[in-house]
Amino acid sequence: MLTLGCARNEVDSEELAGRLAGGGWELVDGEADPDVIVVNTCGFVESAKKDSVDTLLAAADTGAKVVAVGCMAERYGTELAESLPEASAVLGFDHYPDLAERLGDVVAGHAVASHVPVDRRTLLPISPVERQQAAAEVTVPGHAWGPRIERKRLDDAPVASLKIASGCDRRCSFCAIPSFRGSFVSRLPDEVVAEGAWLAAQGVRELVLVSENSTSYGKDLGREHAGDRALEAVLTRLAAIPGIDRVRVSYLQPAETRPNLVRAIATTPGVADYFDMSFQHSSQPVLRRMRRFGDTDSFLKLVGQIREHAPAAGIRSNFIVGFPGETEEDFAELVRFVTEARLDAVGVFGYSDEDGTEAEDLPGKLDADTVAARVARLSDLVEELTAQRAEERVGSEVVVLVERLESEEDDCAGRAAHQAPEVDGECVLVAGGPVEVDDLAVGDLVRCRVVDSEGVDLLVEPLELLPRTAPGPA
């Protein structure tokens, strides 16, 4: 099984692996000679789609049968199948419960009808409070948890993603995700906590909560599940699971991030003081064209609230540069926000048209050279500012989860609370403290002193190996 795209896809792949194992299939590594290769594709932006097609073609070159699943397969279905005959089948989310049988058909040489795309927002009621019962009749990837465990871990890393919701009700003009991921639907808190406990029993010490929009969690669950404070409540429960040392939230919408949620993330023991904020821009006119809310001053106020509770909190975001109609004044406003906010990690992306989105037809498109120039200017600025932010941490103490041991090619490294997996910097453990680096193991939690920085990465000396709490029953 090959997985492309985001952490949400990784959760979906582990669910699919569990379903396939339950259906009699054996998962093999890349060195083996498989009968079939399942590619969990990404269909978010053009570069991701290209990566998915390239991976499907490379898989077909092995001689194995190839099956495409995931977002690109869901989004394009029959169109993808017609343009990519190398794939033996293109299956959508509704095929997931019967994937073991469909793979059997593929290996046996039987034709499997390709997925026919639909707007998945039409599959659930418009009213969020009416969705929970209806969602039981709709396949929602990453939500299959119950008496029979449907998830199988695909690695032994001490950190794992945990899906708390799927879909999105927002209508951002540049984003097509709701059309193929569907309307927003939360997972029940007891189910989320049960899966968190199961992950702890597998050796996981950090849970990363993922969704398309975590700040909407619970809006479809009703008052019996803590109402508009459902996310704070489930965070507290997850942080109390024996064996779990850190819970991290991702994908927060600034316009929906309330003061009580800021306080809960910044101050709840066991919850990382880390804020993955989806700002996208800060110029009010650009945000309105994006069908989003906020402006530079309101976003700076939010950043101030976060740092009032936790001055060392990690804050990251992504920004789209060159959106249709973006003027030099709009870009200057974004530069002002980035300069004053002093974020810890920033992704900068140049705007490009996306199939089926409102922005595709907006006037005021900027030429490619202008977009590229603004991307370069902002990228250079954030590289300097994030490096300064990391340098300010020299002399402080951080708690590092070790994820990689020293070898000829790599250092011993891990992440502190202000660093999320893959997207942010890391902590490189160096000799000099009372704990020997060579004595550490993957999964250790270590109190460290920051002695230097390299860009967004920190060099840290290990001071104390923190005790590991035994996980409870799964």
Point out the annotated binding site for [4Fe-4S] cluster: 6, 42, 71, 168, 172, 175
Torsion angles phi and psi, residue 460, rounded to 5:
-130, 145
DSSP 45-60: SHHHHHHHHHHHHHHH
Burial class (CB in 10 A: 0-12, 13-18, 19+), 330: buried
User: For the stretch 260-287, what's the b/e string if a residue is b when 16 or more beta carbons lie within 10 angstroms of its beta carbon?
Assistant: ebbbbbbebeebbbbbbbbbbbbbbbbb
Q: How far apart are the first and last CA of the chain?
A: 26
Are 383 and 335 in contact by the 8 Å Cβ rule? The answer is no
Residue with tokens 């190839």: 66
Token pair recorded at residue 363: 């006037």
Q: What angle do CA 252, 253, 259 make, to 5 degrees?
A: 80
Distance separating alpha carbons of residues 165 and 462, to the nearest angstrom: 37
Torsion angles phi and psi, residue 127, rounded to 5:
-75, 125
Residue 186: helix, strand or coil by DSSP? strand
Integer Rg of the chain from CA: 22
Work out whether strand 397-404 and strand 413-415 pair parallel, antiparallel, or are unpaired. Answer: antiparallel
DSSP 250-315: --B-GGG--HHHHHHHHHSTTB--EEEB--B---HHHHHHTT----HHHHHHHHHHHHHH-TT-EE
Distance separating alpha carbons of residues 166 and 210, to the nearest angstrom: 9
- What's the distance, CA 465 to chain centroid? 29
